[in-house]
Amino acid sequence: MDHIYIEGLRVFAYHGVFSQEKRDGQEFVLDLTLGLDLTCAGETDRLEDTLNYAQAVETAVGAMTAASYDLIERAASAVAQALLGTFPSLCEVTVRLSKPHAPVDATFRNIAVEITRTRTK
């Protein structure tokens, strides 16, 4: 399987368990790995034979901002579902959703979840 990577996509959204997170929002960071067959695009050099990166970004941002979830696990799942639902050529998607400013009383570099979802036949 071939892959397209979209890394470091910053999205301002309103996910979190605490009321101030839902009220004030915060920045999240998405890293996406999109699994599909890129053989045809590699031969034809045509945009319509691959997955349009701009549309994938728009879909992911839309999924992150369409609703407010308590858990980043649910937000990541919404992104994966939206991508699989939008792009029929997509076989698998891995979503790493980081919450670098999570309200945790500790010093940390990042808190993240990573999920992989595959298209069901």
Q: What is the mean pLDDT of residues 53-62?
A: 98
The pLDDT value given to residue 107: 87
Helix (H) / strand (E) element for 120: namely none
Is pLDDT at 56 greater than 70 in this prediction? yes
Instruction: Answer with the residue of higher pLDDT: 24 or 102.
Output: 24
Q: What is the mean pLDDT of residues 24-40?
A: 97
Long-range CB contact pairs, 70-75, < 8 A, 24+:
70/15, 70/16, 70/17, 71/15, 71/17, 72/15, 72/28, 72/97, 72/99, 72/111, 72/112, 72/113, 73/113, 73/115, 74/15, 75/13, 75/15, 75/28
Q: What is the mean pLDDT of residues 13-36?
A: 95
Is pLDDT at 7 greater than 90 in this prediction? yes
The pLDDT value given to residue 121: 67
- Average pLDDT of the chain is 95
Is pLDDT at 103 greater than 80 in this prediction? yes
* Distant-in-sequence, close-in-space partners of 58: CB < 8 Å, separation ≥ 6: none
Catalytic annotation on 121? no
Of the residues 44, 47, 99, 118, only one is catalytic, namely 99
| Domains in the chain with CATH codes | 2-118 (3.30.1130.10)
Q: What is the mean pLDDT of residues 90-115?
A: 93
